[in-house]
């Protein structure tokens, strides 16, 4: 995989952001592949498809690309809040590539993939409306809160300039794919509990450890009055999905 961003013809563009968009999308066309199937390439999506940059010619999976020159932190800006919220609720979010490139060397440094079935409503945050003086005054955007997406669902493809084999990327994607079979509300709880459990930073944990996360989960699901019951239910769900195994009564281990 060539990590150098294409630069030919970029002198025609005066905006730095435009040059970066053209370069990163050009690199993606020549370098990215489908994680959902064995297609070695992706096609650019038609220009009239908002929030979709690429599609797979074999399985029709949809992909969006977000690129930036600074290291990726816990948040990245996205489009309209209402549109993203509706896409999550209707299970229409695309797979998301998050790309970090170095401005000085004009090379890709990091890239990871968030599968389309790994977004819960906790993964987006409403931004303040644009000021009255703005051209689109009143418009409300959103931020993708990467820290609210389980680390299991942020699949590394390139890390610090080193790329993983496609078979490893696809294997991790396949492990996550059973989430797709859950209804969106049920899946939201499963993702949020999985992400909360990962913050324990333990390979093995007890039920009381899981209960200690109830306050955090209550903030994400303020209308649920039975969070402890929901946690126990989701531990069983995560076991059935092969993320966890029961070690003994009240004790669990990540697989």
Q: Which domains does the chain have, with CATH numbers?
A: 12-164 (3.40.210.30), 185-254 (1.10.10.10)
The whole-number average pLDDT for the span 63-83 is 94
Lowest mean pLDDT of 13-17, 33-37, 101-105, name the range: 13-17
| Residue-wise pLDDT tens digits, 110-156 | 999 999 999 999 999 999 999 888 888 899 999 999 999 999 999 99
pTM over 0.75: yes
Under 8 Å CB-to-CB from 212, ≥6 apart: which residues?
Answer: none
Q: Which pLDDT score, from 0 to 100, does residue 173 have? A: 98
Say yes or no to pLDDT of 48 above 80: no
């Amino acid at each position: 995989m060539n990590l150098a961003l294409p630069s030919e013809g970029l002198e025609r563009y005066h905006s730095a952001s435009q040059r970066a968009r053209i370069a990163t999308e050009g690199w993606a066309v020549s370098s990215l592949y489908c994680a959902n199937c064995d297609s070695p390439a992706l096609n650019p999506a038609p220009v009239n498809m908002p929030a979709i940059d690429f599609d797979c010619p074999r399985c029709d999976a949809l992909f969006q690309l977000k690129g930036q020159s600074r290291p990726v932190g816990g948040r990245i800006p996205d489009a309209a809040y209402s549109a993203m919220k509706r896409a999550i609720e209707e299970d229409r979010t695309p797979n998301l590539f998050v790309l970090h490139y170095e401005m000085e060397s004009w090379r890709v440094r990091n890239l990871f993939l968030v599968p389309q079935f790994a977004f819960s409503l906790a993964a987006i945050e409403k931004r303040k409306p644009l000021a009255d003086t703005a051209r689109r005054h009143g418009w409300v955007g959103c931020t993708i809160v990467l820290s609210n997406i389980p680390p299991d669902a942020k699949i590394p493809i390139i890390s610090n300039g080193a790329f993983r084999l496609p078979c490893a990327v696809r294997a991790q994607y396949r492990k996550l794919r059973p989430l797709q079979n859950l209804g969106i509300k049920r899946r939201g709880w499963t993702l949020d509990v999985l992400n909360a459990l990962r913050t324990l930073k333990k390979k093995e944990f007890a039920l009381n450890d899981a209960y200690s996360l109830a306050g955090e989960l209550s903030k994400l699901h303020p209308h649920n009055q039975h969070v402890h019951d929901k946690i126990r239910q989701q531990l069983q769900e995560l076991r059935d999905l092969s993320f966890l195994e029961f070690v003994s009564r009240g004790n669990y281990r990540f697989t």
